Structure 1
Amino acid sequence: MTIFLFALVVVFAGAFAFLNGFRDASASVALAVRTRALTPTVAVLLAGFFNFIGAGLSAALALAVSRTWVQLPPGENGLVILVAGLVSAVLWGIYTWWRGIPSSSTHALVGGLAGAGVASVAVGGNPVGGVDTSLLFQVALPLLLSPLIAFVGAYLLVWPATWAARYTPPNVVNSRARSAQSIAGGAVAFAHGLQDGQRTSAVLILALLASGLSDGGELPVWVALFTAVLLTAGTLAGGWRISYTMGYRLIRMDPLRGSVAQLFSSAILLVGAIGLHWPISTTHTVTSAVLGSGSNQRFPATNRKVVIRVLLFWVLTPLATAAVAFVLALSVSPLKDL
């Protein structure tokens, strides 16, 4: 039964990685396509290429993440928790994609693991260690801080950007901004692979530890390749429902403000991943930066109904996945006794 549960974790971890890339492609693609900096095909190929590189390099950080993230019970109990958490995150990701809502895969996964951990205790199993810390530092604080920093920073950066371009003809400004946006789109995709690739790799490491197939001393090569390939495949598939929301429904956007939003977003994500080792949501960061840079205009540009709906889903994400994972873990727990 242990091998069967481990295989389930691998299958749903792959689904999670694919869906992560599929949904979060919008972070690097939507604005570039909206402002005509890149064609849809080129934008997706660029995003897929840099996602693959970022996800491959994230393997170096995944071991540290698996040690400081959560501590699962050993054996089948831990594997059941992983299965329930992954399935709930995948189901929520599909639902939010269908609704065209940009939401955080990281928050969905952490919420799912928390709910499954509670279910484990309810049936007499061992709890998930460190989940309270993960909820604080990977859900609560990023939910409040990273969107706020991204929004305020992008809003303020529009002023020096427009001041520097005050004597430049609009067509030249737009051309330069589109070139900058092409670079920024690749940077966001690279940062996304670096940030989110860690999650899937860390889940697989936790599964190897729980099943006794690894001592966690080093990362197997297949884990890094598995994560990078599926994250890239999802990106190449491109979740255009969410891209349409970010590019056309949230706010009016021009090339200059689009380049400010993506350059600032990529800087936050790269500093968070490499410098501070913070798990920052790519979706929350980019969406907030888009709203911040787009709000700094002389005319109303924000679709408030869509923004309120997105914020509501951000708050609901960890709660919904925790509830679903709780039910799933209770349902799957009898498998441990077979």
Structure 2
Amino acid sequence: MDIYILVGIVIFLALAFDFINGFHDTANAIATTVSTRALSPRAAIIMASVMNFVGAMLFTGVAKKIGSGIADPYTLENGVQVLIATLIGAIIWNLVTWWFGIPSSSSHALIGALTGSVIAAQGFDGINASGFREIVIALIGSPLIAFTIGFIVMWILKIIFAKSSPHKINKGFRTLQIFTAAFQAFTHGTNDAQKAMGIMTFALVTAGIQDTMDVPFWVKLSAATAMALGTSIGGWKIIKTMGTKIFKIEPINGFAADVTSASVIFTATLTHLPVSTTHTITSAILGVGSAKRFSAVKWSLAGKIIVSWIITIPISAILAALIYKVMALFM
């Protein structure tokens, strides 16, 4: 098959992944804002779509890390076919977890799928061990940091406003939540949209269409647009899980969770590290809920969410590896 057709398939699948990532991860930015009625669902989604687009257009460091951190695009055998298998595997897992309302990580799915398809194509020697290790440490460390900071932020807010009127506190923080949700959506765009950009740029390099991992403008624009459109659809099942089922979120809790998660994600973006926005915001909510009242958190549900995090990378890797092997029979 012509290499340009294969690259076109990668670009289509990458944009589809970005679109699905948008509606799968909409909950990350607006779940707490919708659940506390700081914004109506429609207004929250419009705001998240715009801020996602803006964030996606401004940064490319994570794209370069995804594009070269796990495997070398200049030496990978059958690199375009590897990327096709990667994206199909990641999309399948994203749709399965979306259908069941599980806040699984699109980032874990993509990285797991890329790892699995690279191993299927070139063995473990095809994996860039140091880059893979750095990415996995960021993925594992960011939720732990978000949980800790969320707990501390909520604990400090409890002390500061201990003697204040709950009605006034909720009114004030409900307004502040609009700004923190916008910041959260912006940071989501700065990190998550870049993953699809990295895959598309990887395809261009491995196919010999361009020589460097610099992200072309049209790649940034198309990925940002796909994510914004996906965000505009919304992922209501996951919004319900994150906004109401973990614990009863009040405006002060939503503010604390959004500030925490957005800060962790933006720090990762500035250091060119891909992190899971899903894991980060969920961990921040758990940390805030624990500080509010440990028994208020539905830990059984939290346990199920954590299990989905643990299994995402291996399942996505196996899916993508199997898809690559099937493709190899015909290509």
Same fold by TM-score greater than 0.5: yes
The one-letter code sitting in structure 2 at the alignment partner of 1:258 is: G
Distance 2:259 2:19 in 1: 25
Distance 2:115 2:307 in 1: 20
> Secondary structure in 2 aligned to 1:300?
helix
Deviation at 1:61, TM superposition (A): 5.3
1:141-169 deviation digits (Å, cap 9, x = unpaired): 23432111111111121122122223322
Return the TM-score normalized by structure 2.
0.94
Deviation at 1:134, TM superposition (A): 4.1
Q: Aligned residue for 2:288?
A: 293
Q: Aligned residue for 1:308?
A: 303
Deviation at 1:76, TM superposition (A): 7.0
The reply on whether 1:261 has 2:257 as its aligned counterpart is yes
The one-letter code sitting in structure 2 at the alignment partner of 1:77 is: N
State the aligned residue count: 330
The reply on whether 1:133 has 2:134 as its aligned counterpart is no
How do 1:230-245 residues align onto structure 2 when only pairs under 5 Å count?
A: 230-245=226-241
1:170 aligns with one of 166, 173, 183: 166
Deviation at 1:256, TM superposition (A): 0.6
The reply on whether 1:328 has 2:329 as its aligned counterpart is no
Deviation at 1:137, TM superposition (A): 2.2
How do 1:170-189 residues align onto structure 2 when only pairs under 5 Å count?
A: 170-189=166-185
Distance 2:276 2:293 in 1: 30
The 1:91/1:239 distance shift into structure 2, 3 A limit, reads same
Distance 1:133 1:12 in 2: 27
Distance 1:35 1:109 in 2: 32
Distance 1:154 1:160 in 2: 10
Distance 1:278 1:75 in 2: 22
Quick one: percent identity of the two aligned structures? 34
The 1:60/1:308 distance shift into structure 2, 3 A limit, reads closer
RMSD: 1.9
The 1:213/1:335 distance shift into structure 2, 3 A limit, reads farther
Q: Aligned residue for 2:87?
A: 86
Given that residues 17 and 230 in structure 1 are in contact (C-alpha distance below 8 angstroms), is that contact kept between their aligned partners in structure 2?
yes
The one-letter code sitting in structure 2 at the alignment partner of 1:89 is: A
Return the TM-score normalized by structure 1.
0.92
Distance 2:174 2:43 in 1: 14
How do 1:71-150 residues align onto structure 2 when only pairs under 5 Å count?
A: 71-72=72-73, 77-121=78-122, 128-130=126-128, 132-139=129-136, 141-150=137-146
Distance 2:182 2:48 in 1: 6
1:238-278 deviation digits (Å, cap 9, x = unpaired): 0111111001111221111110011111111111111x222
Distance 1:23 1:133 in 2: 30
Given that residues 261 and 286 in structure 1 are in contact (C-alpha distance below 8 angstroms), is that contact kept between their aligned partners in structure 2?
yes
Given that residues 110 and 134 in structure 1 are in contact (C-alpha distance below 8 angstroms), is that contact kept between their aligned partners in structure 2?
no
Structure 1: gaps of 5 or more residues: none
Q: Aligned residue for 1:7?
A: 8
1:215 aligns with one of 197, 208, 211: 211
The one-letter code sitting in structure 2 at the alignment partner of 1:260 is: A
The one-letter code sitting in structure 2 at the alignment partner of 1:319 is: P
Deviation at 1:215, TM superposition (A): 1.1
